Structure 1
Amino acid sequence: MAAPPRPNLIEPVPVTTLVARSGARLIADPVAPEIAVTGATLRAQHVVPGDLFAALPGARVHGADFAADALAAGATAVLTDESGAERPALREAGVPVLVHPEPRAVLGEIAAWIYGEPSLQLAVLGVTGTSGKTTTAYLVESGLRAAGRVTGLIGTVETRIGGERLASAFTTPEAPDLQALLAVMVEQGVTHVPMEVSSHALALGRVNGTRFTVGAFTNLSQDHLDFHRDMEEYFAAKSLLFDGRSTTEVVVVDSAWGQQLVTPHTVTVSTEPGTKAAWRATDIAITPTGEQAFTLHAPDGRTATATIPLPGEFNVANATLAAAILDTTGVSLDKIVAGLAAVEVPGRMERVYLGQKFTAVVDYAHKPAAVTQALQALRARTEGRIITVLGCGGDRDTAKRPMMGEAAVRGSDLVIITDDNPRSEDPAAIRAAMLQGARAVSPAQSGEVLEIGDRREAIAAAVERAGPGDVVLVAGKGHESGQEVAGVVHPFSDRAELEAAIREKLEVNA
């Protein structure tokens, strides 16, 4: 993993300042007051001279086990817990050691202090929820650019600083990397940063130390129950974005989960008829060119006709949420509409067209509700068959696998169950769980089901079976450029494979 970017100019921060502000216990020799730090990381391989190395406890290993490497690379201080402080490498480190009972919880704040509290100099616009985070962030960023703002972007698909693209390792970076990244954005003149905020990031403190100008909520459905105990714990993690760290809170209230977040100061959003909300969308229709048009209602009685190049009513909800976020940052309604119309979202209901007589779409849907929504959106746009290629990831929530199979078979005429990212698991076992759910649906309510483990072959089979007016949906991986099998990531792009299969079919039929 490449080291994340860092700002060029950092004012050294005395270790004693970090100790006083964090409440940590200091283990140091008498020269400690003279030692300062100029960066932070929790990865020993990314240490540069002057860093604070965060030696955090983990599920399998303790970060203190890598302290020797960090110190050799030039770390001038270490943050850890009592267990880490007892490791020989730290007992004899010869550098200040900050000991805190919950080092992960304070790491974000400490990193923010080191990098000059960059989120206070930016409008950071956080979006959380199960589905729609990526699309909403891109919609917001498109609206900001239409209004002439200098934007950053942090999310699943990519991180962008102005026009420069960086690959994303996580939906939300680790706390020191996030604060360094925000500081780089400040240096480069960025003013507004739409940012996806995952439940993992909130639960693990990755966004601690970040002040959000806006905190926004899309929706909640089953996902990540390999990490969270149940849906209530999952929702509680999402709710942390609304615990006072966001100046303005914007919430889609079309579900009971969203309604629980509403306070007298919440900016509410809805696409449900008859729902009272500050921002609403009505008169949703598909245009002759395949876009969606709708009437956008602002809280002060203003209205505008908006269009988005994305199918599905759930994307109208994402667009309305984006409009509400943009309005809170001072973007005018005409610029909001312009931004919504111009958005491009990689791997999210992304059409692949090479002149073929059927529709081909790549989407990131990798949870039951998202699969259902994607298929409903496509069904509304076609009178032909829907052919879906779908798998489930390994080492993740196992309970959703039968539900994914069921959702796919209920909404498709043909489902090809294949591999996603099996990771360390047996791919056949993952497919078997999906097939169990698919075959539990009565034949009267389901389409045909095939099993083709090789994802490339599955995509080719779907394209081969597609006729004029049909839709081929390749779901689950979206923008991803690799497939992880047995610990090895192999180059693999659903879009590229879909294009190759379509091209071959066109050449054969030419």
Structure 2
Amino acid sequence: MTSPSLCSSPFSLSSTSPLLPLPCSLFSPSLHSLRRAVSPHSALNNSSKLSHMSPKKDRALAADDSFRSVSKLAPLRCKVSFGRRDISSEEGSREESPTGLQEKETPWGKSTYSDRTMLSSFGPPPDSFGNYETKFQMTLADLLEKSGVTPTAIYGDLDALITGVQDDSREVCQGDLFISCVGSKTDGHLYLSEACNRGAVALVVGEESVKDQVLRCGCKAVVVVKATDSALPVIAATFYGHPSRSLFVVGVTGTNGKTTTTNLVRSIFETMGYGTGLFGTVCFFINGDEMLEASRTTPDAVPAQRLMAKMVRSGTKALVMEASSEGLEQGRCNELDFNVAVFTNLTRDHLDFHGTMEAYKKSKGKLFAKMVDPNRHRKVVNIDDPNAPYFIDQGNADVPLVTFGMQNKNAEVYPLKSELSLFKTKVSVSTPKGTLEINSGMLGRYNIYNILAAVAVGIAVGLKLEDIVRGIEAVKGVSGRFELIDEGQPFAVIVDYAHTPDAVCRLLDAVRELNPRRVITVFGCGGERDRGKRPLMTKIAADKSDVVILTSDNPRNEDPSTILDDMLAGVGYTMQEYSPHGGSKIYPKLPNGCTLLVNEDRRVALQAAIAMGKEGDIIVVAGKGHETYQIEGDTKKFFDDRVECRQALRQVFFGCGGERDRGKRPSMTRIAGDKSDVVILTSDNPRNEDPMKILDDMLAGVGYTMEECCSLHGGSNSHQKLPNGCTLSVNGDRRLALRAAIAMGKEGDAIVVAGKGHETYQIEGDTKKLFDDRVECREALRAEASRKTDRRLPCFPRLPSIDISSLRFSRSR
């Protein structure tokens, strides 16, 4: 308990009262002793986290009871010691053997996996189940004492009742403690008055920020500390009762694969009946189906502790989370008590933040530095990665380790064989406990790594093989990760979050394994992010694709042309050299045969890629994945690659070539009729085949023949409403068909001209005539524009035509 003098301070932060600091020496003995008791570092040394749960009846998170140590391995009515485990229950008690662990010699030393399920020892306090609305509150004096934070000065009333903790002034409510931190873009000390006006009763400020205006802001108390960013996670964790100590926490770090791996591990736990939370790039899960939008990959300290407290109170047993390098470096994970650390891989990314790859690696290594207790902690490492030894060496060498990999056969979790398709991945996995046969909806070879990581976690924590398989197979896919966009088109469209050189390389390698006719890749690079990766991504895409379209991806406050300039450097160009080819009718190729296109408008770039698609192609849209926005300047606009691709696929205009596969003609028409509002059938390189016969084959897809159309509508220029409402038109003259499509266009429409793409000819008989869809569309658009100046003619608004000639093309060297 604090001394009476601390709880009855006569000083308040009113404009009429003198502001005198309380002597911090009064805090020293109490804070020092308590700091030893609750410090997470000391807990690892003195086993305070392994002490059995207090038998007090009242476990509401109010006053002192909420801050008692909770055993991480102690289930209800169970106590655990380092050497032996005593298990008590209502039926009786028994004593088990000391370890329950199996040891195996590996090139990295002893690797240990458990025969017991570690998860069975975790859960919230018994009185907390169903108590979802617990109120968190404590006096400022209690909060400081229990947190172990040592102030350099304290002003005002230490009896101020704290009912919430915030580090964002915009989120402050009545009764909150506002902790002002210095961020990358702004300083929280600039918003102290705003926080007080919103109801903050106390402030925590940095030493260098103490000024007269801080002390006159109207709060009941001001606490001065050396570093607010260090105090923030400690205070937040203390206020919410250190909820991670009541959860089984799995942290996954690495450049690529975090999102998929965390979703797989969560599914394994969920299918076993363990309520499992999730912190990830795509979303946050509290328990079951309760989902929140993810603000960032690893949440800030305050929302992380608040959400974990909610998990504990709702009966959640485990938490699986992505531990980003920035989150680890900024201390967001400082007060999180992890049980399992997983390393997926390390490749170039985030150097705009870390500066060097070495600093990037060390930031991620902080997760493994927390693995110090062989009884409670586990390491899971991808030993194919050259950085694996570094992560294995972090923390305590005696902590059990489970390795996985696809190339190193010394890995304990290793694929014996695999089968890949566009719809399923089959993999046979060798583990220390036996062999698993997995049929997964996760597509692409690189996802086998993520499956192996999830299996390794299951082995590390002692799960049954059948539970691991069932959990992995329950995941049909992860949003924006190798996500198929299927509108019945004869080619594949894949949307993926790949936004690093390594991720793009792995993605395109996985696509190539599916033996596509062509690979068409669309991607951009984020503004105000690592510039060094931009040329690398372009070089990789050009080496592994037949067509590459460079575009924008969250340019933020950076000039999109500058970003594209950096990207083009990967193939030896600059935007200045490239720009003159924007209006060229020639489609030059890079030395390796890849066609390179550039357009800043991401929507146009996607529509162009869709328009190019032919049977057997795979179109890869990389960079955004699950994201539903485009950031331009400081504005976040709605933009979803998946939505844009679907819209482009649903509006189709096309013809079929003569003397080519006749079987695809009716199916193409049927697909177009199902997915479009208007379809115009026309000719496309009829060669020596009668165009009417080609159109006859195409019409068969919707149950018509040319004879029926001509008799019904008096000529080849026919139109008919299909049962689904789609308007079907037929015109053998491609030029007239294009003009008709342009004339139909209204504001908000999208016209897709499919079939020719880059071709600049029409083959009729043995003659190749000049014909360019882009040129024809431009002329038709100009004709419509001239109508606007002639009132005698109907006026048609200019519409967003899918005209890929607006793209700029590269020139081979």
Aligned residues of 1:26 and 1:97 also touching (Cα < 8 A): no
Paired position in structure 1 for 2:513: 380
Q: What is the rounded CA distance, in whole Å, between the counterparts of 1:63 and 1:326 in structure 2?
A: 42
Taking structure 1 as reference, are residues 293 and 122 closer, same or farther at Cα in structure 2, changes over 3 Å only? same
1:28-427 correspondence runs (5 A): 28-29=154-155, 31-32=157-158, 34-86=159-211, 88-90=213-215, 93-161=218-286, 162-244=288-370, 247-263=377-393, 264=397, 265-286=399-420, 290-300=423-433, 302-343=434-475, 344-427=477-560
* Cα contact 1:292–1:309 (8 A) shared by 2: yes
Q: Is the 8 A contact 1:78 1:97 kept in 2?
A: yes
Distance in 1 (CA, whole Å) between partners of 2:358 and 2:593 is: 31
Cα pair distance change 1:493/1:272, threshold 3 Å: same
Is residue 311–residue 378 contact of structure 1 (8 Å, CA) maintained in 2? no
User: Which shifted more, 358-367 or 325-334?
Assistant: 325-334
Greater C-alpha radius of gyration = 2
Indicate which of 551, 560, 563 corresponds to 1:430: 563
SS at 1:434 equivalent: helix
- 1:465 aligned residue: 612
Corresponding residue number in structure 2 for 1:482 = 629
**For residues 38 and 208 of structure 1, do their structure 2 counterparts lie closer, same or farther at Cα, with a shift above 3 Å needed?**
farther
The one-letter code of the counterpart of 1:386 is V
User: RCO greater where, 1 or 2, for CA within 8 Å and sep 6 or more?
Assistant: 1
Q: Is the alpha carbon distance of 1:240 and 1:91 closer, same or farther for their aligned partners in structure 2, counting shifts above 3 Å?
A: farther
Q: Is 70-79 or 349-358 further displaced after alignment?
A: 70-79
| Alpha-carbon distance change, 446 to 401 in structure 1, aligned in 2, over 3 angstroms | farther
Is the contact between residue 151 and residue 226 of structure 2 (CA under 8 Å) also seen in structure 1? no
Decide whether aligned partners of structure 1 residues 267 and 407 sit closer, same or farther in structure 2, where only a CA change above 3 A counts.
same
Code of the residue aligned with 2:642 in structure 1: it is R
The answer as to whether partners of 2:534 and 2:567 remain within 8 angstroms in 1 is: yes
Counterpart Cα distance in 2 of 1:237 and 1:75: 33
85-94 vs 373-382, which moves further? 85-94
* 480-489 vs 319-328, which moves further: 319-328
Count, aligned residues: 501
Cα gap change, 1:464 to 1:303, in 2 (>3 Å): same
Q: Distance in 1 between matches of 2:196 and 2:595?
A: 59
Residues 1:23 and 2:149 are matched in the alignment: yes
Give 1:291 deviation, angstroms.
Answer: 1.4
Instruction: State the SS of the aligned residue for 1:260.
Output: helix
Q: Aligned-pair distance for 1:172?
A: 1.0
Q: How far does the alpha carbon of each residue in 1:413-472 deviate from its partner, in whole angstroms, 9 at most, with x for none?
A: 0000011110001111111211121347x9444511001211111111101111101100
User: Residue 233 of structure 2 aligns to which amino acid in structure 1?
Assistant: G
1:29 shift after superposition: 4.7
Whether contact under 8 Å (2:371, 2:378) holds in the other structure is no
Q: Check conservation: 1:133, 1:218, Cα contact below 8 A.
A: yes
- C-alpha change, 1:93 and 1:245, in structure 2 (3 Å) is farther
Distance 1:103 1:31 in 2: 20
Secondary structure in 1 matching 2:354: coil
Query: Secondary structure of 2:651's match?
Result: helix
CA contact (8 A) 2:523 2:621 kept: yes
Q: What is the rounded CA distance, in whole Å, between the counterparts of 1:320 and 1:87 in structure 2?
A: 58
User: Which amino acid in structure 2 is aligned with residue 420 of structure 1?
Assistant: D
Secondary structure in 2 matching 1:256? coil
The 8 Å contact of residues 548 and 597 in structure 2, kept in 1 or not, is answered as yes
Secondary structure class of the residue paired with 2:487? coil
Distance 1:81 1:230, change over 3 A: same
- TM superposition shift of 1:8: 3.0
- Mapped contact 2:132–2:314 kept (Cα < 8 A): no
Once structures 1 and 2 are overlaid, which stretch shifts more, 140-149 or 87-96?
Answer: 87-96
Q: Equivalents in 2 of 1:95, 1:280: separation in Å?
A: 60
Deviates more, 1:257-266 or 1:190-199: 257-266
Cα 1:92–1:320 change in 2 (3 A) is: same
In structure 2, relative to structure 1, the CA distance for the partners of 1:446 and 1:309 (3 Å cut) is farther
What is the root-mean-square deviation in Å for CA atoms of aligned residues?
A: 2.1
Partner of 2:21: none
| In structure 1, distance between residues paired with 2:637 and 2:616 | 33
Calculate the TM-score normalised by the size of structure 2.
Answer: 0.59
**By how many angstroms is 1:17 displaced?**
3.5
Aligned-partner Cα distance in 2 for 1:88–1:445 = 65
Letter of the 1:65 counterpart: L
Give me the identity figure in percent.
Answer: 36
Report the CA distance between 1:290 and its aligned residue: 3.2
Letter in 1 for 2:417: D
Q: TM-score, normalised by structure 1?
A: 0.93
Residue range with higher mean Cα deviation, 152-161 or 302-311? 302-311
Tell me by how many angstroms 1:268 deviates.
3.2
Any gaps of 5 or more consecutive residues in structure 1?
1-5
Tell me the SS of whatever aligns to 1:297. strand
The answer to whether 1:499 aligns with 2:681 is no
Residues 48 and 75 in structure 1, CA contact (< 8 A), matched pair in contact too = yes
Inter-partner Cα distance in structure 2 for 1:15 and 1:413 = 64
The aligned counterpart of 1:3 is: none
Q: Is the 8 A contact 1:462 1:472 kept in 2?
A: yes
Q: Is the 8 A contact 1:110 1:209 kept in 2?
A: no
Q: Deviations over 1:20-59 (max 9, x none)?
A: 4333215445641x23423211101111222221101234
SS in 1 for 2:548: strand
Deviations 1:157-202 (A, max 9, x none): 1111220221111111110111001111111111111111111110
| Contact 1:7 1:183 (8 Å CA) reproduced | no
- Matches of 2:371 and 2:201 in 1, distance apart? 31
Q: Is the 8 A contact 1:7 1:180 kept in 2?
A: no
Q: Contact 1:127/1:197 (CA < 8 Å) preserved in 2?
A: yes
